[in-house]
Amino acid sequence: MSNVLITGSSRGLGLELVQHVSAHPGLSGGLAIATARKCSSELDQIVAASNGSIIFVALDVADEESVRKSAEKVKSVLGGRSLDVIINCAGVHSETHGKLTEMSDLDWQLSVNVSGTHNVLRQYLALMGSSQLKKVVNIPYGSMILAREVAFARCPAYKISKAALNALTVQYATSYEEDGFIFLAVSPGWLKSEMGGQDADLTVAEGAEAVVKLALSADRRDNGSFKNVHVSGWEKYAGQNLPW
């Protein structure tokens, strides 16, 4: 029985993660805590049909007061139980058309995709102290070494912020490994989502299922690593470590 918190749960990968966490037999009896700035109609329906196994908590990762209040509410809901897993899926994405000097959204992307994750961890790690799992999964897509392979995507601020999220993950991994925490950067693959488009490789459901499996199977040897998901039939998604 494990309690899992997912940020960015109102749509896309975050919404699918809530459903897969709630249905996973290895997490039976625990709570799936879905967080987002606002509860979408799709998420509201999932929560209503969950018989109490999924709850929604309002959380704007870029607003420190919102994060603090959400942590207080989650602590109350847990009623002395631990929070066991955090999957940081909240993020923003936008495009730049032209050369890099035209990029005007870097501060915004960093404030949500990097500082927002830091805000969440600063408030929520205290709720994980008694957990036997203590796992944190951050969702990046930002490999600097593989940058040329995705040069077609016109979202430099997004790529920069996600590479910075990788760096944040490593810093947390080294800082908290003696306390038994496992921090992972996990790429969910190129998904057929609003952001990824319909020419992408994997469905959002396939990506979510693979992320949950990886999160639950990871051990302390994986702390601080950048992992690819494993999806049967795909050589490029073989669960390998990815280059930074």
Write out pLDDT tens, residues 44-55. Answer: 999 999 999 999
Contact 6/74 with Cβ under 8 angstroms?
no
89 CA to centre of own chain: 3
DSSP 3-state of 29? coil
Q: How confident is the model at residue 147 (pLDDT cuts 50, 70, 90)?
A: confident
Q: One-letter amino acid identity for 73?
A: K
Q: How confident is the model at residue 179 (pLDDT cuts 50, 70, 90)?
A: very high
Q: Is residue 236 part of a domain?
A: no
This prediction's pTM? 0.95
Contact 55/3 with Cβ under 8 angstroms?
no
Higher pLDDT, 149 or 168: 168
Q: What is the pLDDT of residue 185?
A: 97
Contact 140/169 with Cβ under 8 angstroms?
yes
Q: Is residue 237 part of a domain?
A: no
Handedness of CA 166, 172, 186, 139 (dihedral sign): negative
Burial of 211 (0-12, 13-18, 19+ CB in 10 A): buried
Q: Is residue 244 part of a domain?
A: no
Contacts of 185 (CB under 8 A, 6+ apart): 138, 139, 140, 165, 166, 169, 170, 225, 226, 227
Q: Is residue 238 part of a domain?
A: no
Q: How confident is the model at residue 19 (pLDDT cuts 50, 70, 90)?
A: very high
Q: Is residue 70 part of a domain?
A: yes
Q: Is residue 121 part of a domain?
A: yes
Mean per-residue pLDDT for 4-31? 93
Mean per-residue pLDDT for 41-70? 97
DSSP 124-167: HGGGGTT-S--EEEE-----STTGGGGTTS--HHHHHHHHHHHH
Domain count, the chain: 1
Q: How confident is the model at residue 190 (pLDDT cuts 50, 70, 90)?
A: confident
Q: Is residue 233 part of a domain?
A: no
Q: What is the pLDDT of residue 29?
A: 84
Give the CATH number, domain containing residue 125: 3.40.50.720
Q: How far is residue 208's CA from residue 205's CA, in Å, rounded to a whole number?
A: 5
Domain containing residue 66 = 4-228
The angle at the Cα of 2, spanning 174 to 59, to the nearest 5 degrees, equals 75
Q: What is the pLDDT of residue 105?
A: 95
Number of helices (H), then strands (E), in the chain: 7, 7
Is the pLDDT at 222 greater than 80? The verdict is yes
Q: Is residue 170 part of a domain?
A: yes
At which residue do the structure tokens 């950067």 appear? Answer: 185
Q: How far is residue 82's CA from residue 4's CA, in Å, rounded to a whole number?
A: 10
Alpha helices (runs of H) in 25-153, residue ranges in sequence order: 41-48, 64-78, 106-113, 115-124
When mean pLDDT is compared over 21-25, 189-193, 223-227, the highest value belongs to: 223-227
Contact 165/144 with Cβ under 8 angstroms?
no
The angle at the Cα of 42, spanning 37 to 47, to the nearest 5 degrees, equals 80
